[in-house]
Structure 1
Amino acid sequence: MLASVMAGVDGSAESLTAAAWAAREALRRGLPLRLVHAWDRHPRPEEEFDSAVQRHLARSALRQAQDRVRAVYPDVRLVNELVEGLAIAELLKASEDAELLVLGSRGLSGFTGFLVGSVAQGVVARATRPVVLVRAGEAATDERRPTDETDAGPRTAYRDVVLAADLDPPADAVIEFAFEAARLRDARLRVVHAWQTPVLGLGPGEVDLLDDAHRAEERQNLLTGALRLWRDKYPDVEVVATVTKDRPRTALVRAASGAGLLVVGHRVAERPLGRRTGPVTHAAVHDVDCPVAVVPHD
């Protein structure tokens, strides 16, 4: 199957918002948009009527999303796909050929951040392709900076793309995704790396020679080295790289304020209790108010 931008839809307001965001991303990337709805058919004969109703509702959800996208983005190439099975498993399977998968999450009224449903959480934890979470109510205008009174241009610049950089070790797939997202938008890329003083027990005769200033310089050098290749590959992307002493999740939420997209990494290695998100990714998908791209890596 050809590469595409994929959106999971279920008829909810948040999935319609996700479909619209995915349509804009498909146009930016020059790719078709796949709208996918997964439904779990009841196989027992006595439940055939319920299955028929579910299939009708599934088709209606797809049609609603399709009509909404075509009304606003008539130039996007659109493909609809109805699949049977458990939502998490089927969305993961369908997304294997996609460049990214877009899902909706309910906004927390009066607060920042997402209310992330079980399907979105399950997909993010297990996906091998980038997953973007978009909160309900996100509009095309939210991707751009507020129009300045002195700006006479016909278009308003995109808000920053923010990359939460992990240097232990740096993940090329995550960095590349962030640079490409910034290039597609002609947006500034802000790279943020947070570190904390390690809590280590020193043995007899050992001296901790690295004070905070030295650690900060060391981390800044590591970040500069990790970005060097990508700066050369994307010379037109303006990059601002910052190292800060803070809790990673606190620094991430602060950096994402006012951003157009936050990019975080997610290690796909199996954990003792199965695949799940780490604390930084968890904070990203729950505590920020802009779209979040979770990029899996080894």
Structure 2
Amino acid sequence: MTAGVDGSPESRAAARWAAGEAVLRQVPLRLVHAVDWPLDPVFPGVGGQDADRWADQVLSETAEELRRRHPQLAITTRCPTARPAAALAAEAADAALLVLGSRGIGGLVGFLVGSVALSTVAATDTPVVLVRSDDEAPDGSDTDAGAGAAIVVGVDIHEAGDRVLDFAFEEAARRGCPLRAVHGWKLPPAYTYVPFFDPDNERDIGRSVTRMAEDMLLPWRQKYPEVAVTSSVFRGSPGERLVQESRGAGLVVVGRRRRRSPLGPHLGAVAHAVLHHAAAPVAVVAHD
């Protein structure tokens, strides 16, 4: 388990969430702070020794807090000198999960620049969880992992979602919590130009999509019979529905396809909407 820390409220919340998750998984936790040079003009007048001391202090203070919360948890710290996104992706290569801080509505928190968290999500095949600060959590609730709130997973019948579903079901089984699977669909574009569209056709499409979604879930229902699963198939935006479902959820799980855009990191519309607006921690799982 690896968590990125930078001293911000978001990263402290992410470290607490990661510690709770590490206890659930019975694995050690690695805290990572990447020092990026040169710091100017972001932090004018800050020297290398000052930055190193500050990084060591952030790591030691975070580790001490987590050890008080979880005395049984083995915690190590790392402070590589590298571009944060590359350093975090490298540190996550041998981890089951990478946890970062995020800033609710308005975008992702970077470790020096706002694009770092987004770049890190796109740079690693390791599942990444983004956690909001405690102040942004609904009702000021704690963001530690392991609460009994339901897990919400976005299902796409048109994608190979094995990794996404396996992550969501395994996490629900580990926590002993229910799982809600959500799939949104839209009419094919051709129907937009049909002047007298038969509503029965829409109902038939809805029933067909529902069967396909249930067929997709069936192997995991059988693999994890202890997980209480409900599914919701609807016509509309899956991103909007997942954001709604995130209120009161313990975790939202979405997939992203492994691909790179010539213009930089790229996320699908659903993952993008959920990352920016969800009220719960969000796990992004890469798949083919």
For Structure 1 versus Structure 2, the TM-score category normalised by the shorter chain is 0.7 to 0.9
Distance between the aligned counterparts of 1:272 and 1:200, measured in 2? 30
Residue 119 to residue 42, structure 1, CA distance change in 2 (3 Å): closer
Residues 1:76 and 2:76 aligned together: no
List 4+ stretches of structure 1 deviating above 4 A.
Answer: 138-144, 207-210
Distance between the aligned counterparts of 2:164 and 2:9, measured in 1? 29
Distance between the aligned counterparts of 1:15 and 1:50, measured in 2? 23
The residue correspondences of 1:222-233 to structure 2 (distance < 5 A) are 222-233=212-223
- Structure 1 residues 246-271: Cα deviation after superposition (integer angstroms, max 9, x where no partner): 11212211222211100000111223
Note the residue ranges of structure 2 that are not aligned, 5 or more in a row: 110-114
- Structure 1 residues 124-151: Cα deviation after superposition (integer angstroms, max 9, x where no partner): 122211000000115775579xxxxxxx
Distance between the aligned counterparts of 1:13 and 1:64, measured in 2? 13
Deviation at 1:99, TM superposition (A): 0.4
Per the alignment, residue 38 of structure 1 pairs with 34
Letter in 1 for 2:156: D
Residue 126 of structure 1 contacts residue 268 of structure 1 at CA under 8 Å; is this kept in 2? no
Per the alignment, residue 108 of structure 2 pairs with 116
Residues 1:135 and 2:132 aligned together: yes
Give the total of aligned pairs. Answer: 273
Per the alignment, residue 197 of structure 1 pairs with 187
Per the alignment, residue 149 of structure 1 pairs with none
The residue correspondences of 1:1-298 to structure 2 (distance < 5 A) are 5-42=1-38, 50-107=47-104, 113=105, 115-117=107-109, 118-137=115-134, 138=137, 141=142, 158-200=148-190, 211-298=201-288
Relative to the length of structure 1, the TM-score reads 0.84
Instruction: Please tell me the root mean square deviation across aligned C-alpha atoms, in Å.
Output: 2.6
Note the residue ranges of structure 1 that are not aligned, 5 or more in a row: 108-112, 145-155
Distance between the aligned counterparts of 1:236 and 1:74, measured in 2? 30
**Identical aligned pairs, as a percentage?**
38
Distance between the aligned counterparts of 1:23 and 1:140, measured in 2? 16
Letter in 1 for 2:68: A
Higher strand share: 1
- Structure 1 residues 178-199: Cα deviation after superposition (integer angstroms, max 9, x where no partner): 0011011100000000001111
> What SS class does the counterpart of residue 279 from structure 2 fall into?
coil
